[in-house]
Each structure stands twice: as structure tokens, then as C-alpha cells.
Amino acid sequence: MLWKGLGRFTYDVESPGISPVTIYDIASVTKVVAATTMAMMLYERGKLDLEAPVVNFFPQFAVADSTKCDVTIRMLLAHSSGLPAYERLFQRALLREDLIDLALTTPLAAPPGTRVEYSDIGFIILGEILGQIAGERIDQFCQREIFSVLDMSSTRYRPPIEWKQQIPPTVSDATFRRRVVQGEVHDENASVMQGVSAHAGVFSSALDLSGFAHCMLNGGNPILKHETVEFFTRRELFPEGTSRALGWDTPSVPSQSGGHLSSRAFGHLGYTGTSLWIDPERQLSITMLTNRTWPDCTAQGIRRIRPQVHDAIVEALNGGA
């Protein structure tokens, strides 16, 4: 394994330097490290039926639109539910329960199963379904069943206050929280959800995420069976042309994973400037953690740099594809 920390927490030359144990808000990488892995474990234990309709868990989901009766758990994982990508629910919700209710009553943007649209809303709902099935909130399950078992000691939802000095700030929020956001979840919807959701909320380090990736490269051992990992990371056949697996993404053309990872690779991106890509064919994982949202979310250079970094790593290891 190779780790390298570059730069500082902020542009201030007096700010702390980055190291492999620096802890980041991994944003939507939460979807795979926490939510999807939880789904995999519940599926493997025979508790999660991927074809179960969302209305089985939340009847209010389809009250205003009967077509929502067709939305299944598989569709939530594969981002083919027809739910919109994102809604600023935090502007209308004061409490966690309010925001969940708003997510459940969000109108579809397309008929279920007809197109792929990456959806935070779908994962907010998925997390609540997983919690119902497990009988506990996603943060409790993941801490006990995933993070502790894999010795991910710098990974958790809602990091304790004493971790703050190890966490770079993500944004100087001038409109919603009106403060520098550091050591608390960046995503506003997750913030209203008290920092605990399936779509965002986990904090982790490159060291911990490389350990998680090693577990996936090792066929899921010791938390999952090889067959389960294969099943969830295999690209879905429908809707036609999708790059999505169950929870995970796979390389597309062009891809933020670069041009050299194999067709068996799987990974995910995070809005704050984080990513995790795993290639079982190459026995390679690449974790890239930044706080590109500092100070105001306008920087977009990560889109250019990320694939270049992935390509450079592969080329350095074996001279290219």
C-alpha cells in the first residue's frame, strides 16, 4: 500500500498539513462504504428483498402518485427509481423526521425504471428502509458491523468534537448555517438529518478507506461473501446504457476513474472532492480525498485532475493499460 498527503487544510500557510490519517467528510462515498455495504449484508442474511416495493415500508410514498408503487429497493440502489437527483429539502424541514417525510413525498421526475438519474433523494429513502429492516439506525449498524470489524478507527458518522483538529473544513457556509463547516457534515439535507443518512454523513481517512477497499478486493472477507460482492458490483442491464451497479458505479466513457481501469472496476465519487475506485482485475484500489469545496464550492478542477491521477497511478504501476 502507498499513501501520500499533499497540501494543507486551507490556503492559509499556517493551516495543518495533510497526511494519510487526515479525516475527511467523504460525502456521497457514504453511499457505498455505509449504505450499500449495509444493504449487501442484509441481503446476504436473507433480510433484504431487492424487489420489495418502497410502499411496503412507507405507504405514504405513493399516496399522491400510484406509479410510485412500482419503485423497488433495487431501483433505489441502481438510481433508476425516477426520483429526482436532488432537492433542497433542508429549506423546508426543521427536523430529521420532517425531511424524511419530504423525501418520501417528492414527485417522480420520470416513470420508474425508464432512465437513470443519480438520486440523493432515493438514498435518503433507502437508508430509512435499511434502518427498518435492521431495527436500528444506519450509523449504529455500520459502526458495529462494518467500521469496527474492519478496524476503521477513524471512520464514523457524527465524529466526536476531539476529532475536529484532524478534519479539514469543507465550506464557509454564508447562507444556511452561516459558519465554517468543519467536523460536521457538509451536505445540508444530511445536516438536518443530524448528520446521519445513507446519502452522506460518513467521515473517514485514506488509511481507513484503503482497508475497506482491501476487504472488497478480498471478496468481502471478513464481512461479506465473494458472491455478494460480485452481485452488487456487476453493472445493471436496465435501463439500457446505465453505468450503475447496485449502489456502486462502474467506469463509463469518459469516466472520472480515468481510462485504464478494467470493466470489472467499481467505485463512487463524493461532492466534497472524494472518491474511491476498486479494480479487482488489477487488484488495485485508489482513494482520493480532498476538500475541493473550500471555501465556497466553486472550484471544479477536481473533474480534470481526478481522472489524470487515476491514469497516472496505473501507468506508474505497469506502463499503462
Residue with cell 444530511: 190
pLDDT tens, position by position, 84-121: 999 999 999 999 999 999 999 999 999 999 999 999 99
CA-closest candidate to residue 170, choices 305, 273, 20: 273
In a domain, 13, yes or no: no
pLDDT tens, position by position, 182-227: 999 999 999 999 999 999 999 999 999 999 999 999 999 999 999 9
Q: Round the average pLDDT of the chain to a whole number and report it.
A: 97
How many other C-beta atoms lie within 10 A of the C-beta of residue 288? 20
Grade residue 319 by pLDDT with cuts at 50, 70 and 90. low
In a domain, 294, yes or no: yes
In a domain, 198, yes or no: yes
Grade residue 3 by pLDDT with cuts at 50, 70 and 90. confident
In a domain, 3, yes or no: no
CATH number where 34 lies: 3.40.710.10
> Who's near 280: CB < 8 A, 6+ residues apart?
216, 217, 262, 264, 265
Evaluate if pTM is beyond 0.75.
Answer: yes
Q: What's the confidence (pLDDT) of residue 238?
A: 96
Q: What's the confidence (pLDDT) of residue 1?
A: 83
| Rg value, the chain, Cα | 19
The whole-angstrom distance between residue 197's C-alpha and the CA centroid of its chain comes to: 10
Q: Summarize the confidence of residues 265-292 as an average pLDDT.
A: 98
pLDDT tens, position by position, 36-66: 999 999 999 999 999 999 999 999 999 999 9
- The burial of 316, by beta-carbon neighbours within 10 Å (0-12 exposed, 13-18 middle, 19 or more buried), is given as exposed
- The burial of 101, by beta-carbon neighbours within 10 Å (0-12 exposed, 13-18 middle, 19 or more buried), is given as middle
- The burial of 137, by beta-carbon neighbours within 10 Å (0-12 exposed, 13-18 middle, 19 or more buried), is given as middle
How far apart, in whole angstroms, are the C-alpha atoms of residue 72 and residue 70?
Answer: 6
DSSP symbols for 13-41: TTSPBP-TT-EEE-GGGHIIIIIIHHHHH
> Who's near 220: CB < 8 A, 6+ residues apart?
40, 226, 228, 229
In a domain, 276, yes or no: yes
Q: Which amino acid is at 321?
A: A
User: What's the grid cell of residue 253?
Assistant: 466513457
Helix (H) or strand (E) holding 180: strand 179-181
In a domain, 10, yes or no: no
In a domain, 16, yes or no: no
Which range marks the domain in which residue 296 is found?
27-318
Q: What's the confidence (pLDDT) of residue 152?
A: 98
In a domain, 4, yes or no: no
Q: Give percent of the chain with pLDDT exceeding 70.
A: 99
Number of domains in the chain: 1
